[in-house]
Amino acid sequence: MSLSSDDVEKIAHLARLAVDPADTESLSRDLSNILDLVEQMQAVDTDGVLPMAHPLEMSQRLRVDEVTETDKRELYQSNAPLKENGLFLVPKVIE
């Protein structure tokens, strides 16, 4: 499995990561090596095997629909890099 520089740029965009053009070559080599390791999976026949959904075969637990959290907006926003009037600020998205 070998990823090209174009592949790497496409994956980086999907992951919302910026890749320095100087690093693309070494990154594509590293990622290709990891995918070579992963490729070993293809050697085993898994037809008819059910993919594991959960190690304990648990099903999703539901809770009673009751209010359990109090308003902690200010506390939770204390880590926000940029905020105003209880809102998170981002660059303008609508012209």
Partner 1 sequence: MSELHDKTLAELSAGLAAREYSSVELTEHYLQRIDDLDGQLNSYVTVTAERALEQAKSADARIASGDAGPLTGIPMAHKDIFCTEGVRTSCGSKMLDNFISPYDATVVTNLGEAGMVMLGKTNMDEFAMGSSNETSYYGAVKNPWNTDCVPGGSSGGSAAAMSARLCAAVTGTDTGGSIRQPAALTGITGLKPTYGRCSRYGMIAFASSLDQAGPMTKTAQDAAMMLAGMAGFDPKDSTSADRPVDDYVAALGQSIAGLKVGVVKEFMENDLDSGIAASTQAVLDQLKKQGAEIVEISLPNAHLSVPAYYVVAPAECSSNLSRFDGVRYGHRCENPKDLEDLYKRSRSEGFGAEVKRRIMIGTYALSAGFYDAYYIKAQKIRELIAEDFQKAFKQCDVIVSPTAPETAFGIGQKTDDPVSMYLQDIYTIAVNLAGLPGMSIPAPLSGGMPVGFQLIGNLFDEARLLNVAHQVQLATDWHKVTPEGF
> Which positions touch partner 1 (CB under 8 A)?
3, 8, 11-12, 14-19, 27, 30-31, 33-42, 44, 46, 49-56, 58, 60-61, 63, 72, 75-82, 88, 90-93
Structure tokens that stand for 53 in this block: 């959904």
Closer of 22 and 72 to partner 1 (Cβ) = 72
* Shortest Cβ 65–partner 1 spacing (Å): 14
CA distance 47 to 51: 10
Taking alpha carbons only, the member of 89, 67, 69 closest to residue 77 is 89
Number of Cβ atoms within 10 Å of the Cβ of 8 = 20
* Shortest Cβ 22–partner 1 spacing (Å): 13
CA distance 19 to 35: 19
Closer of 22 and 55 to partner 1 (Cβ) = 55
* Shortest Cβ 29–partner 1 spacing (Å): 10
